[in-house]
Structure 1
């Protein structure tokens, strides 16, 4: 582990090539897993605030999920995440463009409707941050 301020970073983050290649994976990170994208506490209020501007870009199932469950949920481990369609399918904010899974939040940002691109966990995937009282890993 490498210490950067109050954050411990695994060596692989420095030595391995982490690259989002949508043409290869087709956005699988938004579809796989047993819960939605992890959210930090600060992102909860942001999602609440931007939801009306993101909603027009969402799928009907995504809208239905957020209207029923909220802009975020607490998963089985007690962590905040984005809600998932039908409990454990795609993220509620998923949209499809040309056979590739994309994000309605990011689409609203691209269109200039909001100034927040998407949750930090989505930017960092597959890297995850775990917060501890004294440091983050």
Structure 2
């Protein structure tokens, strides 16, 4: 494991290969699982401020789910997540012409309508963050639906932390990411 500032990073993030392959998985992470996308507390206000601009991008079923459940839900542990449509896909998920699930929030961002790309939990996937007193644990979430992403990443020689450079910088800053990269390079030199 790597200890960096207020984070503890699992070795899998440094060692495992990963590059999303939407052609193969069709955005299954937007529909599989027990809940919608995890939301951080500071994202709730952003979602509230942005919803009117995101809503036109959503499906009718997604809009209906939000009307019934709210912009976000609180789970049994007191954590926040996006509502779902019939306990399946995220209410903010949309299908493209190839029946691939994408994100209405991200599409609004790409169109320049809002300046929030999407929930950080989605942007960081397959990294999941667990918060503890004084630090955050970053773990690689292994899931069968991502097997094509693992193969694709291995073919390209891209590791999890490299694939997720942008969201890791978004979450922890450029300096943190550079320090992570330096630690990994130094460790690889020592092992060579």
Given the two structures, how large is their TM-score scaled by the length of structure 1?
0.96
SS in 2 for 1:95: strand
What corresponds to 1:60 in structure 2? 60
The count of aligned residue pairs is 136
What corresponds to 1:24 in structure 2? 24
Q: Distance in 1 between matches of 2:4 and 2:110?
A: 31
Cα-to-partner distance string for 1:67-124 (whole Å, 9 max, x where unaligned): 12111101233210011112x2100001000211000001101111001110011011
Q: Distance in 2 between matches of 1:11 and 1:120?
A: 21
Cα RMSD of the aligned pairs, angstroms, is 0.9
Structure 2: gaps of 5 or more residues = 138-192
Please state which structure has a larger fraction of its residues in helix: 2
Matches within 5 A, 1:1-137: 1-86=1-86, 88-97=87-96, 98-137=98-137
Cα-to-partner distance string for 1:20-62 (whole Å, 9 max, x where unaligned): 2111110000000000111111111111110000000000010
SS in 1 for 2:68: helix
Given the two structures, how large is their TM-score scaled by the length of structure 2?
0.69
SS in 2 for 1:131: strand
SS in 2 for 1:136: strand
Q: Which runs of 4+ in 1 moved over 2 A?
A: none
Structure 1: gaps of 5 or more residues = none
Q: Give how far 1:126 is off.
A: 1.8
> Which structure's CA Rg is the greater one?
2
